[in-house]
C-alpha cells in the first residue's frame, strides 16, 4: 500500500491541507488505488504547502504546492509512484532550503506521524531518556551544562545552571513547567514542534523530571494554538499508555506525569512568573524576583521553567552528548537555533542552523527577498520586543551577544521581513500600543508608560513640536527600560528606539504644526 | 441552532466538579464553562467561587484579566484576525480595516444580525502565511478581501 504523507499542522491546514487530503483519499478510492494517508507535522517550507510526499523506493518524493485542481493530473501522472509532474519537487532533503540546514531539534518534525509512539521510537526517539535513566541526576545536569544550551524563549539564560539550581533546591515537591506561550509575532517554532513532534517535548520534560526529582510537569499552551493543544494533550495520553509517563517511567520505578494547561489570550503569560500565576488560576500578574522560580515557583515549590524548544532539545543532547551539541555554534551561543522566517518574504519557514548565520543569508538566500518583490527595508528580530534593523545591517550574525551589542535581541529566533512600504514611526507607535494592551498592569512604568508612549508617538507623527516630543520619548524609554518589573515594559523601548535610530526619516515627515496650546 | 447551551446551574456544577481536583483548576474550569455556554455569565463567577471556596473577587479578577473569557455571548461565528507585526508586513491592517468598515463594526463587536463577531488577536503562529485568521477555530492563511467576503457570506448563511 502506498503511503502518502500530508502535513496537518495549523499552517498547512490554513492553506488547505485537510481538503487536499480528503480529495486525494476520495480520488484514490474512485480509481481503486490502495493508499494510506499519514498525517505529519510540517517540514517548515511554507511556500510549498499544501505539500504531499509519497513513499517510493527512492525515498519520499514531494509535490507542492498542491491545489484541488492539480489532483486529477497528479493521479494521471502516477504521482503515487513518484511520476513526473510540474509540481514534482523530488526528495525534500535535496532541496537547498533543507539540505543547508542542521536540524537537531527539528530532525523529526514533518517526517514522523506526530501521534505515533512507534514512529517516534523508529526515528531515534527515547534514546535520550534511555541514556538518562543510567545516569546520576548530577551527571544529567552536567551534560546539559556541557552542551551550552541556553533558554530558547528569548532570555538566553544557560539552561544547565537553571537545572542545577532546581536540583539542589530542597522540597517535598518540585515541578517541571514548559513555557509554550509562544506569543511573539513572527515565531512559530514551538507550535510546529508541538504539532509535528510532541514526544520530543514529552521526552525532554521527562528527563528533566527524573534529573531534578520532580514527579509532575505542566505544559502551558496559548489558546491561540488550539491544534498544538490537542496534539500535545493526545500525545501525553499515548505516552502514558506506552509506559513512557506514569508511576514507573520505562519500568524504572520512578514516576513522572504531565498535564497540559490552556492559556486564555494574555501575551504577558509568556513571562515566566505570570505564567506560573496563570497555572495557579490567578490573574497573570508578574511576580517580583527573587525568589526565583527555581527556588519558589509553582504553588510555592521549586520549579524548572523552560521554553518548549529548550526542553525539546534535551533528548538530542542526552542521546548524542553535550559536547556534540556544543560543537555547533559561535562564541557563547552554542548549538543550533531554529530560526523562524516570516512576514513579507517569498520563502518563509523554519530554518534550523548553528548560531552565527548572518541575517542576510536567512532573508536573501533562504527567504529569496520579499513576497511583494519590493526591496527589504527592515527586519524585526525577536518578536514585538525586538529591534528593527535596516537592510544595511543584515550582515550581522545571529547570536545572542552580537544582537544585544547592537541594542537588539535574538529572542525566540523570529525574523519578520518588511518591504519599503513600511513606516517605522507607525511600527514604533504599535510597539507602545501592544504594550498598553498586554501589560499586566502591576508596575507603573509599563502600565502608564505604554499609554504615554502612544500619545507621544501620535504627536510626533502629527508633527507637533517634534524636538520636545523626541526628548519626552527618549526620557520615557529610559524610564521604562530601567524601572519596569519585567521584559514587557523593559524591552518595549527596543523596537521604538531602534526604529528611531535606524529610520529617522520616517519620524520627521509631517509638516510642523503648532502645539495644541498655541 | 445555537452552538452553545443556555445557562444551566446543574450542568455548570457538574463541569466544575469534573475539573475541581486538578492542580490549579480555575483556568481549566473557566475554559470548560466557556466551551459549554459560549461566555462566562455572572452566575458562573459566583458558582465557581463557592464551589472552589474562593472569593468572588478572586474569580472575577481572573475572568476579567484574560481576553478569552468573554462576559457576553459572541455572534454565531467568530473571526479572529491577527493584528501583529508579521501580518502587518503583509497588509493585514488594511484588509482588516476595510472589512470592519464594511461591516460597520469595531474590533470585538458583532454584526447587528448576530452572525459574526470580529476580534483582533496578537499572533496565531501562522506568520509565514500572513496575513492570517482563525474562523471558528479553523486557521486560514494568506487572507485577502475575497477570502474574508466568502467568510462573511458563510457566516450569514447567504
Domains, chain A, in order of start with CATH, read 2-99 (3.40.30.10), 117-326 (3.40.50.11540), 329-419 (3.10.20.600), 424-507 (1.20.1440.230)
Phi-psi region of A427 (alpha: psi -120 to 50; beta: other; left: phi over 0): alpha
Residues in B closer than 8 angstroms to A280, CB to CB, are 24, 26
Closest residue in B to A426 (Cα–Cα): B88
Give the distance from residue B5's alpha carbon to the nearest chain A alpha carbon, in angstroms: 21
- CB spacing of B139 vs A11 below 8 angstroms: yes
Pair (B116, B81) in one structural domain: yes
Parallel/antiparallel/unpaired status of strands B77-82 and A414-419 = unpaired
Distance CA A182, CA A220 (A): 10
Distance CA A314, CA A143 (A): 10
A302-359 pLDDT tens trace: 999 999 999 999 999 999 999 999 999 999 999 999 999 999 999 999 999 999 999 9
Nearest to A416 among B89, B137, B139 (CB): B89
Domain-located, residue B26: yes
- CB spacing of B24 vs A261 below 8 angstroms: yes
A135-145 pLDDT tens trace: 999 999 999 99
Domain-located, residue B33: yes
Helix residue spans in A252-399 (DSSP H): 272-279, 308-320, 322-326, 359-360
CB-count exposure of residue A368 (10 Å: 0-12, 13-18, 19+): middle
Distance CA B39, CA A193 (A): 31
Nearest to A224 among B30, B85, B123 (CB): B123
Nearest to B27 among A264, A343, A371 (CB): A264
Pair (B152, B81) in one structural domain: yes
Nearest to B141 among A15, A259, A417 (CB): A15
Domain-located, residue B2: no
Distance CA A135, CA A292 (A): 27
Domain-located, residue B3: no
Percent of chain A with pLDDT over 90: 97
Give the domain-ending residue among B21, B37, B65.
Answer: B65
Report the domain count for chain B: 2
Pair (B131, B81) in one structural domain: yes
Helix residue spans in A52-136 (DSSP H): 71-76, 96-99, 117-122, 127-132
**Pick among A11, A46, A214, A420 to test the B interface (most B CBs inside 10 A):** A11
Closest residue in A to B125 (Cα–Cα): A188
Give the domain-ending residue among B18, B39, B65.
Answer: B65
A169-183 pLDDT tens trace: 999 999 999 999 999
* Cα A125 from chain centroid (whole Å): 21
Pair (B83, B143) in one structural domain: yes
Residue A36 pLDDT > 60: yes
Closest residue in A to B49 (Cα–Cα): A281
Residue A493 pLDDT > 90: yes
Residue B124: CATH number of its domain: 3.40.30.10
**Pick among A64, A186, A278 to test the B interface (most B CBs inside 10 A):** A186
Whether the Cβ atoms of residue A108 and residue A319 lie closer than 8 Å to each other: no
Pair (B97, B124) in one structural domain: yes
Give the distance from residue A465's alpha carbon to the nearest chain B alpha carbon, in angstroms: 28
B81-119 pLDDT tens trace: 999 999 999 999 999 999 999 999 999 999 999 999 999
* DSSP secondary structure letter of residue A150: B
- CB spacing of A343 vs B126 below 8 angstroms: no
Cell of B139: 486557521
Residues in B closer than 8 angstroms to A419, CB to CB, are 89
Nearest to B62 among A14, A262, A282 (CB): A282
Give the model's pLDDT for residue A511. 81
Mean pLDDT throughout A416-437?
A: 98
A398-414 pLDDT tens trace: 999 999 999 999 999 99
By a Cβ cutoff of 8 Å, what residues of chain B touch chain A?
Answer: 22-28, 30-31, 58, 61-62, 65-69, 80, 82, 84-90, 121-130, 132, 134, 137-142
Nearest to A418 among B80, B89, B139 (CB): B89
Pair (B42, B83) in one structural domain: no
Residues in A closer than 8 angstroms to B40, CB to CB, are none
Residues in B closer than 8 angstroms to A13, CB to CB, are 138-139
Cell of A393: 545591517
Pair (B60, B81) in one structural domain: no
Domain-located, residue B72: no
- CB spacing of B141 vs A11 below 8 angstroms: yes
Pair (B85, B148) in one structural domain: yes
Under 8 Å CB-to-CB from A121, ≥6 apart: which residues?
Answer: none
- CB spacing of A343 vs B30 below 8 angstroms: no
- Domain of residue B93 covers 77-156
Under 8 Å CB-to-CB from A65, ≥6 apart: which residues?
Answer: A15, A47, A48, A49, A50, A51, A87
Nearest to A281 among B62, B123, B129 (CB): B62
Q: Mean pLDDT in chain A?
A: 96
Residue A126 pLDDT > 70: yes
Mean pLDDT throughout A401-429?
A: 97
Q: Is residue A513 helix, strand or coil? A: strand
Give the distance from residue B80's alpha carbon to the nearest chain A alpha carbon, in angstroms: 10
Mean pLDDT throughout A58-71?
A: 96
A434: enclosing H helix or E strand: helix A424-438
Torsion of CA A160, A162, A167, A172, to 10 degrees: -150
Nearest to B141 among A14, A345, A427 (CB): A14
A74-102 pLDDT tens trace: 999 999 999 999 999 999 999 999 999 99
Pick from A313, A354, A312, A311: nearest CA to A331: A354
Rg of chain B over all Cα atoms, to the nearest angstrom:
18
Give the model's pLDDT for residue A444. 97
- CB spacing of B139 vs A278 below 8 angstroms: no
Domain-located, residue B4: no
**Pick among B40, B60, B89 to test the A interface (most A CBs inside 10 A):** B89
A355-380 pLDDT tens trace: 999 999 999 999 999 999 999 999 99
A262-300 pLDDT tens trace: 999 999 999 999 999 999 999 999 999 899 999 999 999
Pair (B42, B105) in one structural domain: no
Give the model's pLDDT for residue A497. 97
- CB spacing of B128 vs A11 below 8 angstroms: yes
Closest residue in B to A388 (Cα–Cα): B85
Pair (B81, B152) in one structural domain: yes
pLDDT by position in tens, chain B (length 158)? 357 989 999 999 999 999 999 999 999 999 999 999 999 999 999 999 999 999 999 999 999 999 999 999 999 999 999 999 999 999 999 999 999 999 999 999 999 999 999 999 999 999 999 999 999 999 999 999 999 999 999 999 97
* Cα B99 from chain centroid (whole Å): 18
Q: With bands split at pLDDT 50, 70 and 90, how would you rate the model's confidence at A478?
A: very high
Domain-located, residue B102: yes
CB atoms within 10 A of CB A506: 19
Residue A513 pLDDT > 90: no
Give the model's pLDDT for residue B131. 98
* DSSP secondary structure letter of residue A362: I
Give the model's pLDDT for residue A518. 46
Give the model's pLDDT for residue A343. 98
Distance CA A186, CA A111 (A): 23
Domain-located, residue B42: yes
- CB spacing of B67 vs A266 below 8 angstroms: yes
Distance CA A179, CA A157 (A): 14
A237-256 pLDDT tens trace: 999 999 999 999 999 999 99
- CB spacing of A186 vs B85 below 8 angstroms: yes
Give the model's pLDDT for residue B138. 96
- CB spacing of B66 vs A261 below 8 angstroms: no
Pair (B32, B81) in one structural domain: no
Pair (B86, B145) in one structural domain: yes
Percent of chain A with pLDDT over 70: 99
**Pick among B65, B128, B148 to test the A interface (most A CBs inside 10 A):** B128
Amino acid at each position: 500500500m502506498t503511503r502518502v504523507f500530508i502535513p496537518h499542522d495549523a499552517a498547512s491546514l490554513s492553506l488547505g491541507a485537510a481538503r487536499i487530503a480528503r480529495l486525494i483519499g476520495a480520488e484514490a478510492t474512485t480509481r481503486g488505488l490502495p493508499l494510506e494517508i499519514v498525517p505529519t507535522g510540517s517540514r517548515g517550507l511554507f511556500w510549498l504547502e499544501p505539500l504531499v510526499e509519497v513513499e517510493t523506493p527512492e525515498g519520499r518524493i514531494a509535490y507542492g504546492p498542491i491545489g484541488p485542481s492539480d489532483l486529477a493530473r497528479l493521479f494521471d501522472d502516477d504521482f503515487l509512484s513518484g511520476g513526473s509532474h510540474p509540481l514534482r519537487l523530488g526528495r525534500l532533503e535535496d532541496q537547498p532550503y533543507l539540505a543547508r540546514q542542521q536540524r537537531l531539534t527539528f530532525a523529526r518534525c514533518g517526517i514522523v506521524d506526530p501521534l505515533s509512539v512507534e514512529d517516534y521510537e523508529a526515528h531515534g526517539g527515547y534514546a535520550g531518556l534511555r541514556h538518562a535513566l543510567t545516569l546520576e541526576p548530577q551527571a544529567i545536569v552536567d551534560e546539559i551544562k556541557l552542551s551550552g544550551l541556553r533558554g530558547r524563549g528569548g532570555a538566553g539564560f544557560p539552561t544547565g545552571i537553571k537545572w542545577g539550581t532546581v536540583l539542589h533546591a530542597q522540597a517535598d515537591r518540585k515541578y517541571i513547567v514548559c513555557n509554550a506561550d509562544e506569543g511573539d509575532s513572527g515565531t512559530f517554532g514551538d507550535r510546529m514542534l508541538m504539532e509535528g513532534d510532541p514526544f520530543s517535548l514529552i521526552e525532554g520534560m521527562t528527563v528533566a523530571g527524573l534529573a531534578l526529582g520532580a514527579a509532575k510537569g505542566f505544559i502551558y499552551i496559548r489558546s491561540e494554538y488550539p491544534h498544538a493543544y490537542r496534539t500535545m494533550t493526545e500525545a501525553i495520553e499515548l505516552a502514558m499508555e506506552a509506559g513512557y509517563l506514569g508511576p514507573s517511567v520505562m519500568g524504572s520505578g520512578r514516576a513522572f506525569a504531565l498535564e497540559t494547561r490552556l492559556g486564555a489570550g494574555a501575551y504577558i503569560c509568556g513571562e515566566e512568573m505570570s505564567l506560573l500565576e496563570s497555572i495557579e488560576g490567578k490573574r497573570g500578574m508578574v511576580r517580583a524576583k527573587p525568589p526565583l522560580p527555581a527556588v519558589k515557583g509553582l504553588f510555592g515549590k521549586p520549579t524548572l521553567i523552560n521554553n518548549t524548544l529548550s526542553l525539546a532539545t534535551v533528548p538530542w543532547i542526552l542521546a548524542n552528548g553535550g559536547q556534540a551539541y556544543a560543537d555547533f555554534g559561535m562564541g557563547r551561543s552554542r548549538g543550533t537555533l531554529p530560526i523562524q522566517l516570516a512576514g513579507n518574504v517569498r520563502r518563509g519557514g523554519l530554518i534550523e542552523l548553528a548560531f552565527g548565520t548572518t541575517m542576510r543569508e536567512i532573508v536573501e538566500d533562504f527567504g529569496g527577498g520579499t513576497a511583494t518583490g519590493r526591496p527589504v527595508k527592515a527586519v524585526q528580530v525577536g518578536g514585538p520586543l525586538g529591534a528593527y534593523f535596516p537592510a544595511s545591517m543584515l550582515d550581522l550574525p545571529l547570536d545572542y551577544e552580537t544582537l544585544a551589542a547592537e541594542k537588539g535581541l535574538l529572542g525566540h529566533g523570529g525574523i519578520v521581513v518588511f518591504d519599503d512600504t513600511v513606516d517605522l514611526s507607525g511600527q514604533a507607535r504599535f510597539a507602545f500600543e501592544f504594550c498598553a494592551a498586554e501589560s499586566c498592569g502591576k508596575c507603573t512604568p509599563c502600565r502608564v508608560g505604554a499609554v504615554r508612549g502612544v500619545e507621544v508617538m501620535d504627536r510626533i507623527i502629527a508633527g507637533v513640536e517634534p524636538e520636545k516630543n523626541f526628548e519626552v520619548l527618549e526620557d520615557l524609554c529610559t524610564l521604562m527600560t530601567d524601572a519596569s518589573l519585567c521584559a514587557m515594559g523593559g524591552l518595549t523601548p527596543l523596537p521604538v528606539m531602534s526604529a528611531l535610530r535606524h529610520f529617522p526619516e520616517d519620524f520627521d515627515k509631517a509638516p510642523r504644526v503648532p502645539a495644541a496650546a498655541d | 441552532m445555537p452552538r452553545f447551551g443556555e445557562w444551566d446551574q446543574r450542568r455548570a456544577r457538574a463541569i466544575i466538579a469534573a475539573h475541581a481536583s486538578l492542580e490549579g483548576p480555575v483556568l481549566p474550569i473557566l475554559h470548560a464553562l466557556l466551551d459549554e455556554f459560549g461566555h462566562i455569565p455572572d452566575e458562573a463567577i459566583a458558582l465557581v467561587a463557592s464551589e472552589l471556596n474562593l472569593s468572588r473577587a478572586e474569580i472575577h479578577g481572573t475572568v476579567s484579566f484574560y481576553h478569552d473569557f468573554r462576559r457576553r455571548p459572541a455572534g454565531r461565528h467568530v473571526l479572529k484576525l491577527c493584528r501583529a507585526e508579521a501580518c502587518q508586513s503583509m497588509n493585514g491592517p488594511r484588509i482588516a480595516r476595510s472589512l470592519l468598515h464594511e461591516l460597520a463594526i469595531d474590533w470585538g463587536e458583532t454584526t447587528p444580525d448576530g452572525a459574526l463577531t470580529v476580534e483582533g488577536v496578537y499572533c496565531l503562529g501562522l506568520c509565514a502565511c500572513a496575513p492570517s485568521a482563525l474562523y471558528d477555530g479553523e486557521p486560514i492563511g494568506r487572507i485577502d478581501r475575497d477570502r474574508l467576503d466568502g467568510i462573511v457570506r458563510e457566516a450569514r448563511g447567504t
